[in-house]
Chain A
Amino acid sequence: MPSQVVESTNPVPGHRVPRALIEQVFAGPVDSSAMSMLLDGQYSRRLLLLKVLRESVASASSREERQTVEDAWPILVAAEKHAPEIVREILLYPSVGTWLVRVIRKIRGIINDDVPIWVDMGYLGSVAVAAAIRAGIDVTAAAPVWRGRISLPTVGQFEVGDGDSTRLARIRTRGSTTFLESPEGEWISLAEVPSFSLRLHESTAGGRSMCWTVDDIDPYRSFAGMVANDRLGSTEYDVWCNKLDRAWEILVEEHADYLPELSAASPVIVPAAREDGFVASSSAASFGAIRAAMPQTPADMAETLLHELQHSKLNALLDLVPLQRPGTDRPCYAPWRRDPRPLSGLLHGIYAFVGVTEYWYRRWRSRADRAAAFHFAYHREQVREALRGLGPTPELTAAGTRFLAVASARLAACDGGEVPADVRAAVTALVTENRLAWRMKHLAPPDEYVVRLADRWLAGEAPTAEDIEPALRPFHRRDVESTLPALLTSQALTPDAPDAGRAVRPGERELAGRDLAVARPLFARRIRANPEDDSAWVGLLMAMGDGRPPPETVSATFRRAAALSDTPPDPVTLVDWFARG
Chain B
Amino acid sequence: MADVLDDVVVSEMPDFTRISLEHLADAPVSPTSAVLDRAIEHPTQDQQVQAS
User: Which residues in chain A, 1-26, are within 8 Å of chain B measured between CB atoms?
Assistant: 1-6, 9-19, 22-23
Given contacts A80-B20, A485-B51, are A45 and B10 in contact (CB under 8 A)?
A: no
- Contact between A352 and B15 (Cβ–Cβ < 8 Å)? no
- Taking a contact as CB atoms closer than 8 A, the residue among B3, B7, B18 that contacts A405 in the complex is B3
- Contact between A2 and B21 (Cβ–Cβ < 8 Å)? yes
* 9-residue interface stretch from A60-68, A136-144, A277-285, A421-429: A277-285
Which A residues touch B26, using CB under 8 A? 6
Which A residues touch B29, using CB under 8 A? 11-12, 48, 51
- Contact between B14 and A348 (Cβ–Cβ < 8 Å)? no
- Contact between B27 and A6 (Cβ–Cβ < 8 Å)? yes
Which B residues touch A23, using CB under 8 A? 5
A19 to B32, CA, bound (A): 22
- Contact between B48 and A281 (Cβ–Cβ < 8 Å)? yes
Which A residues touch B5, using CB under 8 A? 19, 22-23, 398-399, 402
- Taking a contact as CB atoms closer than 8 A, the residue among B14, B32, B46, B47 that contacts A13 in the complex is B14
- Contact between A6 and B47 (Cβ–Cβ < 8 Å)? no
Which A residues touch B17, using CB under 8 A? 2, 40, 43-44
A460 adjacent to chain B (CB < 8 Å)? no
A340 to B39, CA, bound (A): 21
User: Which residues in chain B, 29-52, are within 8 Å of chain A measured between CB atoms?
Assistant: 29-30, 32, 34-36, 38-52
- Contact between A18 and B7 (Cβ–Cβ < 8 Å)? yes
- How many whole Å from A342's CB to the nearest CB in chain B? 8
Given contacts A15-B15, A44-B15, A348-B44, are A319 and B38 in contact (CB under 8 A)?
A: yes
Which B residues touch A394, using CB under 8 A? 1
A525 to B49, CA, bound (A): 31
Smallest CB gap from B22: residue in A? A77
* Bitwise interface map of A from 287 to 329 toward B, beta carbon under 8 Å scored 1, else 0: 0000000000000000010011001000100111110001001
* 9-residue interface stretch from A104-112, A159-167, A511-519: A104-112
- Taking a contact as CB atoms closer than 8 A, the residue among B3, B6, B10, B23 that contacts A5 in the complex is B23
- Contact between B36 and A52 (Cβ–Cβ < 8 Å)? yes
Smallest CB gap from A18: residue in B? B8
- Contact between A10 and B28 (Cβ–Cβ < 8 Å)? yes
Given contacts A47-B19, A352-B46, are A16 and B11 in contact (CB under 8 A)?
A: yes
- Contact between B40 and A402 (Cβ–Cβ < 8 Å)? no
- How many whole Å from A135's CB to the nearest CB in chain B? 12
Number of interface residues of B (CB under 8 A): 49
A19 to B51, CA, bound (A): 39
- Contact between B45 and A393 (Cβ–Cβ < 8 Å)? no
A48 to B43, CA, bound (A): 15
- Contact between B49 and A279 (Cβ–Cβ < 8 Å)? yes
A315 to B45, CA, bound (A): 10
- Contact between B15 and A14 (Cβ–Cβ < 8 Å)? yes
Smallest CB gap from A341: residue in B? B46
Q: How large is the interface on A (under 10, 10 to 19, 20 to 34, 35 or more residues)?
A: 35 or more
- How many whole Å from A36's CB to the nearest CB in chain B? 10
Smallest CB gap from B33: residue in A? A326
A55 to B40, CA, bound (A): 14
Smallest CB gap from A433: residue in B? B51
Which B residues touch A14, using CB under 8 A? 10-15, 30
A45 to B11, CA, bound (A): 12
A524 adjacent to chain B (CB < 8 Å)? no
- How many whole Å from B39's CB to the nearest CB in chain A? 6
Smallest CB gap from A404: residue in B? B3
- Contact between A77 and B45 (Cβ–Cβ < 8 Å)? no
- Contact between B41 and A110 (Cβ–Cβ < 8 Å)? yes
- Contact between A54 and B25 (Cβ–Cβ < 8 Å)? yes
- Which of B25, B32, B45 has most A Cβ within 10 Å? B45
Which B residues touch A307, using CB under 8 A? 48
Which B residues touch A396, using CB under 8 A? 1
A357 adjacent to chain B (CB < 8 Å)? no
Which A residues touch B14, using CB under 8 A? 11-15, 44, 48
- Contact between A105 and B40 (Cβ–Cβ < 8 Å)? yes
- Taking a contact as CB atoms closer than 8 A, the residue among B27, B35, B46 that contacts A345 in the complex is B46
A250 adjacent to chain B (CB < 8 Å)? no
A49 adjacent to chain B (CB < 8 Å)? yes
A349 adjacent to chain B (CB < 8 Å)? yes
Smallest CB gap from A349: residue in B? B46
- How many whole Å from B21's CB to the nearest CB in chain A? 5
A77 to B24, CA, bound (A): 10
Which A residues touch B25, using CB under 8 A? 51, 54-55
User: Which residues in chain A, 62-81, are within 8 Å of chain B measured between CB atoms?
Assistant: 73, 76-77, 80-81
- Contact between B7 and A19 (Cβ–Cβ < 8 Å)? yes
A562 adjacent to chain B (CB < 8 Å)? no
A114 to B6, CA, bound (A): 48
Smallest CB gap from A391: residue in B? B1
- Contact between B49 and A276 (Cβ–Cβ < 8 Å)? yes
- Contact between B18 and A19 (Cβ–Cβ < 8 Å)? no
The 10 A-B pairs with the shortest beta carbon distances in the complex, nearest first, are A485-B51, A279-B48, A402-B3, A281-B47, A401-B3, A2-B20, A47-B16, A12-B14, A15-B11, A320-B11
Q: List, sorted by A's number, 20 A–B pairs whose CB atoms are closer than 8 Å.
A: A3-B20, A10-B28, A11-B30, A13-B10, A16-B9, A16-B11, A17-B8, A48-B29, A48-B32, A48-B39, A80-B20, A105-B40, A105-B43, A110-B40, A280-B48, A281-B47, A284-B38, A284-B44, A336-B48, A489-B51
List 11 extra interface pairs beyond A48-B16, A110-B40, CB under 8 A. Answer: A4-B18, A4-B23, A9-B28, A47-B16, A51-B24, A52-B40, A54-B25, A73-B21, A285-B39, A307-B48, A342-B44
Q: Which residues of A contact B (CB under 8 A)?
A: 1-6, 9-19, 22-23, 40-41, 43-45, 47-52, 54-55, 73, 76-77, 80-81, 84, 87, 101, 104-105, 108, 110, 223, 276-285, 304, 307-308, 311, 315, 318-322, 326, 329, 336-338, 342, 344-345, 348-349, 352, 392-394, 396, 398-399, 401-402, 405, 485-486, 489
